[in-house]
Amino acid sequence: MWTPPERIKHEKPEGGWPDARTAASARLFSPVQVGPIRLEQRTWVPAMVPWRATEEGFVTPDVVDWYARFASGRPGALVVEATGVRDNPSGPLLRIGHDRFLEGLKELVQAVREASQGHTRLFIQLIDFLSIRRRPEPAKFFARFLELTERHRSHFPGLTDEAIREHLAALPDPELDRYLDERELESLRFGWRERIGDLDKPHILELPRVLPDIFAQAARRAREAGFDGIELHYAHAYTMASFLSGRNDRPDGYGQTRQGRIRLPLEVYRAVRQAVGSDFVVGCRYLAHEGIEGGYALEDAAFYGQEMARAGMDFLSLSRGGKFEDARQPPVGWSVYPYTGPSGYECMPTVFSDRKGPFGRNVESALPIRQALRDQGLDTPVVVTGGICSFAQAEGLLSDGSADIVGAARQSLADPDWFRKMQLGRGQEVRRCRYTNYCEGLDQKHKQVTCQLWDRLGLDEPGLRLAQDGKRRLTAPRWTP
Ligand SMILES: Cc1cc2nc3c(=O)[nH]c(=O)nc-3n(C[C@H](O)[C@H](O)[C@H](O)COP(=O)(O)O)c2cc1C
Ligand code: SF4
């Protein structure tokens, strides 16, 4: 992962752990209304892909265990990982693009209800993404993938196509800049990646026509499976975030201006709402800041928030960065991963940071976004996430009006019981995240995600399920108050 050049090592903020009486009157443990439902407390575990689904996208016993373990810590809300809305093969990522996925999802819902004893509300994150290929061997790229055009041929008069391919393959990489255009160079150096601006491709052109119904059907299934609501994934590097992006120049009314860029996200929302009705939670996750050159920043994020809240979304969950555009070049045979560049750092910051540091990095954007909503009389709850790992931080940002709900991904992975420990006045027992991203490294390699603080503990526990490498437990050891 990219690290800010300053590389200042930051210490974890003081826990400021409350005693049980203080916790009982804390904002963090007070209820909050989210559209038609009430969360018992303002604690939220955001989506985290654990790489435990089958190759076909079905729920497995390991998926069920993963969510049951988070649920036993009884957060106010738990969001199931990014789940594909289409009925297309997409490797071991959870899917909800067909009714055949319902059975497994129902089991997951049931397990969460039981493990949290009904205390935790459960949402599922719905995602669409475009195609991406691995970085090719240069020889293969020139022999098979590069589409030769007159532009290439004009550089090499008299040469056959085959000879041109051989010639290009033999050139040192920097010289290729003279012969290949930007997209071709990217396909060679990073792997080919589809974009929402590829309007010469009919399936990209028609995204605004097909996506509302695809999301609506997925949302209908989420409701049928028993979830309390859905989170539309409008963040990071994926299709819907690309529509919102400041770089979206689609000339068909779905880009170029911020009104154009938010048009499809709103149309998807309306189709979803129509499909699930008003008594089911529909919110979204989007970026407070894209963190890339030409990307949108705070002012646009506030505008988007107002538009989405006005349209009727039940919550807005803020993330940051996580884009393909500034990602690091992957090794040959790997796909580019959107969390390896500076914007990826914004999304999952580590303790090796700039002066701002990783802790609560998104909070300064949340405050003005939430304020922009309130200024318009919109009371939609705002969830903020990013390096939040202490009671003092969480309570502080709720008290100063930065957000209504506190999201904590890695801290909850490090210790799924940390909310309960705080609430019971046992904050000293919290296993605190190191924010060095061992878990994110596993995610990047598409390996089953675990936490370095517990994955080697108690491996002799009877009946324990281990990762494919046989060396790691898949869920945190049990904690009983
Ligand atoms: C292993 C892993 C998987 C993640 N998967 C998702 C995901 O599916 N959807 C999403 O919106 N964010 C995902 N994230 C980002 C987190 O939800 C969160 O925004 C980020 O980790 C920063 O919050 P934190 O500092 O509390 O960890 C993932 C993060 C990690 C570490
Ligand atoms: S692996 Fe590291 S960064 Fe990830 S949750 Fe555990 S301690 Fe935190």
Inter-axis angle of helices 207-225 and 102-115, nearest 10: 50
Amino acid at 40: E
Q: Which uninterrupted H or E stretch holds 318? A: strand 316-319
Please tell me the residue having the least CA distance from ligand 2 atom 8.
Answer: 433
Ligand 1 centre distance from Cα of residue 99 (Å): 27
Cβ of 306 below 6 Å from ligand 1: no
Beta bridge partners of 34: 37
Ligand 2 centre distance from Cα of residue 440 (Å): 8
Cβ of 46 below 6 Å from ligand 1: yes
Q: What is the pLDDT of residue 242?
A: 98
Cβ of 433 below 6 Å from ligand 1: no
Strand bridging mode 352-353 / 382-385 = unpaired
Cβ of 263 below 6 Å from ligand 1: no
Q: How far apart are the first and last CA of the chain?
A: 37
Closest among 94, 73, 95 to 86, alpha carbons compared: 95
- Whole-angstrom Cα distance, residue 113 to residue 74? 10
Rg of the Cα atoms in the chain: 23
- Whole-angstrom Cα distance, residue 144 to residue 480? 58
Q: What is the pLDDT of residue 96?
A: 98
Ligand 2 centre distance from Cα of residue 417 (Å): 15
- Whole-angstrom Cα distance, residue 313 to residue 316? 7
Burial of 161 by CB count in 10 Å (0-12 exposed, 13-18 middle, 19+ buried)? Answer: exposed
- Whole-angstrom Cα distance, residue 313 to residue 153? 52
Q: What does CATH list as the number for 8-132+212-444?
A: 3.20.20.70
Ligand 1 centre distance from Cα of residue 347 (Å): 8
Structural tokens at position 301? 């994020």
- Whole-angstrom Cα distance, residue 413 to residue 69? 10
Ligand 1 centre distance from Cα of residue 348 (Å): 7
Name residues whose C-beta falls within 8 Å of residue 152's C-beta, 6 or more positions apart in sequence.
146, 164, 168, 179, 180
- Burial call 401-410: b when 16+ CB within 10 Å, e when fewer: ebbbbbbbbb
Ligand 2 centre distance from Cα of residue 438 (Å): 6
Site to probe by mutation for ligand 1, drawn from 49, 67, 412 as the one with most ligand atoms within 8 Å of Cβ, is 49
Ligand 1 centre distance from Cα of residue 428 (Å): 25
Q: What is the pLDDT of residue 90?
A: 85
Q: How many CB atoms are closer than 10 A to CB 443?
A: 19
Please tell me the residue having the least CA distance from ligand 1 atom 14.
Answer: 48
Closest among 286, 323, 292, 289 to 307, alpha carbons compared: 286
Strand bridging mode 316-319 / 382-385 = parallel
Dihedral of CA atoms 159, 162, 166, 171 in degrees, nearest 10, equals 50
Strand bridging mode 229-234 / 281-287 = parallel
Ligand 2 centre distance from Cα of residue 415 (Å): 9
In the chain, domain spans: 8-132+212-444, 138-189
- CA distance readout (Å), 433 to 29, 285, 390: 21, 23, 10
Please tell me the residue having the least CA distance from ligand 1 atom 10.
Answer: 47
Cβ of 432 below 6 Å from ligand 2: no
Ligand 2 centre distance from Cα of residue 10 (Å): 15
Cβ of 409 below 6 Å from ligand 1: yes
Q: Tell me the pTM.
A: 0.97
Q: What is the pLDDT of residue 1?
A: 83
For the chain, 481 residues long, give each residue's pLDDT as a single digit of tens: 899 999 999 999 999 999 999 999 999 999 999 999 999 999 999 999 999 999 999 999 999 999 999 999 999 999 999 999 999 988 889 999 999 999 999 999 999 999 999 999 999 999 999 999 999 999 999 999 999 999 999 999 999 999 999 999 999 999 999 999 999 999 999 999 999 999 999 999 999 999 999 999 999 999 999 999 999 999 999 999 999 999 999 999 999 999 999 999 999 999 999 999 999 999 999 999 999 999 998 999 999 999 999 999 999 999 999 999 999 999 999 999 999 999 999 999 999 999 999 999 999 999 999 999 999 999 999 999 999 999 999 999 999 999 999 999 999 999 999 999 999 999 999 999 999 999 999 999 999 999 999 999 999 999 999 999 999 999 999 999 8
- CA distance readout (Å), 214 to 6, 275, 367: 44, 11, 33
Ligand 2 centre distance from Cα of residue 449 (Å): 10
- Whole-angstrom Cα distance, residue 58 to residue 89? 11
Atom of ligand 1 nearest to the CA of 443: 1
Cβ of 43 below 6 Å from ligand 1: no
Cβ of 452 below 6 Å from ligand 2: yes
- CA distance readout (Å), 140 to 1, 70, 288, 353: 28, 44, 40, 39
Atom of ligand 1 nearest to the CA of 81: 8
Identify the nearest ligand to the CA of 44 by its number. Answer: 1
Atom of ligand 2 nearest to the CA of 437: 3
Site to probe by mutation for ligand 2, drawn from 1, 359, 439, 445 as the one with most ligand atoms within 8 Å of Cβ, is 439
Structural tokens at position 23? 């916790």
Cβ of 410 below 6 Å from ligand 2: yes
Give just the sign of the alpha carbon dihedral 34, 36, 38, 43.
Answer: negative
Please tell me the residue having the least CA distance from ligand 2 atom 6.
Answer: 451
- Whole-angstrom Cα distance, residue 251 to residue 248? 9
